[in-house]
Amino acid sequence: MIKYILLSLILTSCVDQKLSRMVHEKEIMKMHEAQREYHFQKMSEEFAGQLTDDFISVNRGELSQQSFEEHKARYDRYFASVEFEKWDDTEKPIIRFSDDHSLAYTIVQKDVIVRYPDDNGTILRDSVHFAWLAVYRIQKDGNWKIESVASTNSEPVVNKLD
């Protein structure tokens, strides 16, 4: 009888872990998909709101840490300077979790195309392929936030639009 009880507990635990992983994966994918809307709708406050207070960015060989207001201001400037044509995954993001599910990471590949005016008012079209790793940490309130991102990109292709 004890064997059956132990087996039942083990199987229940495995099912609970799998369900928990599926729920967390869905939450992280929802955040990931919202980022596309934040770019196209120029929602810098919502975008910056996905980041932890001590968020670290690794980009172009440099580390940076900024406050929420600094992130928001940076995205305000960026979103105001470009029009997005494309901000799309080229592969399904890879999501992995720590054993205790307090940390997760995504590996993302994305094509981004933006239009913007140069100093003479000529409209340029910039196309670039990005890849990044984003680290997520579950917060005390049960929500995920992005703790750090390490990003790289291909050389942009810039064309003048007539």
CATH code of the domain in which 64 resides: 3.10.450.50
Name the nearest CA neighbour of 136 among 118, 150, 148, 154. Answer: 148
Cα 6 from chain centre = 40
Name the nearest CA neighbour of 159 among 125, 111, 110. Answer: 125
Positive or negative, the CA dihedral 55, 59, 63, 69 is: negative
Report the mean per-residue pLDDT for the chain.
90
The owner of tokens 């993302």 is 108
Largest CA distance in the chain: 82
In this prediction, residues 4-31 reach a mean pLDDT of 70
pLDDT tens-place string over residues 92-126: 999 999 999 999 999 999 999 999 999 999 999 99
- Whole-number percent of the chain with pLDDT over 70: 88
Q: Is the pLDDT reported for residue 10 higher than 80? A: no
CA 17 to CA 25: how far, in whole Å?
A: 12
Q: Give residue 2's pLDDT.
A: 72
Residue 134: pLDDT band (50, 70, 90) is very high
- Count: domains in the chain: 1
Q: Is the pLDDT reported for residue 9 higher than 80? A: no
For residue 55, the enclosing domain spans 2-160
pTM of model > 0.85: no
